[in-house]
Amino acid sequence: MTTRFKKNRGLRGHVSAGRGRIGKHRKHPGGCGNAGGQHHHRINFDKYHPGYFGKVGMRNFHLIKHGKVCPIINVERLWSLVSEQTRTYYKEKTDKAPVIDVMKAGYMKVLGKGQLPEQPVIVKARYFTKEAEEKIKAAGGVCVLCA
C-alpha cells in the first residue's frame, strides 16, 4: 500500500495516533507469539486449542520408521509380474514351472484375493497368507519362503 493511503497520514498531528493516552502503545504487552499459554493466555488456549499442551502415548526410543512396512500383492496379480509370453510358454511345457520372485518386484507378502489360472507356478516371497498358499497349491504350484 502506498504511503498516502495509510492510516497514519490522517493521524498526523494527533498525539497518540489513535492508541489512547492512558494505556500507551507498548511493544508486546502480552508477550511474543505463544507466550503465556499456560499462564495469562490460558483461557484462550483452553477454549480454542484444547489438548495443545501435554503428551499422549508411550515413547519409542529407537523408532525404525520403515520397520513395519510390508508391501503386499494379491494372488490375482501374480502373473502380471512376468510377461504374457512366459505364461503361454509354460502353459504348453507342463513339466516345468516359472519362478515368480515377488521380492524382486518390490513386494513381501502374498495375499489370497482373486483367482489364479490352473497353471503351476513357483512363488518366492517372505510371507504368505493361508488362503494364498492354498490357492497356489491348488493350481499345482509351490510357495517358497525366502528371507
Residue-level pLDDT at 94? 81
Distance CA 48, CA 50 (A): 6
Distance CA 133, CA 65 (A): 29
Percent of the chain with pLDDT over 90: 91
Residue-level pLDDT at 93? 86
Tens-digit pLDDT profile for residues 35-76? 999 999 999 999 999 999 999 999 999 999 888 899 999 999
End-to-end CA distance of the chain: 66
Please provide the DSSP assignment of 90-113 as one string. HHH-TT---EEETTTTT--EEE--
| Cut 0.75: pTM above it | no
Residue-level pLDDT at 80? 94
Stretch 95-106: mean pLDDT, rounded?
94
Tens-digit pLDDT profile for residues 17-34? 999 999 999 999 999 999
Instruction: Spell out the alpha helix ranges (H) of the chain.
Output: 7-11, 42-48, 84-92, 130-138
22 — phi, psi (to 5°)? Answer: -80, -50
Amino acid (1-letter code) at residue 79: W
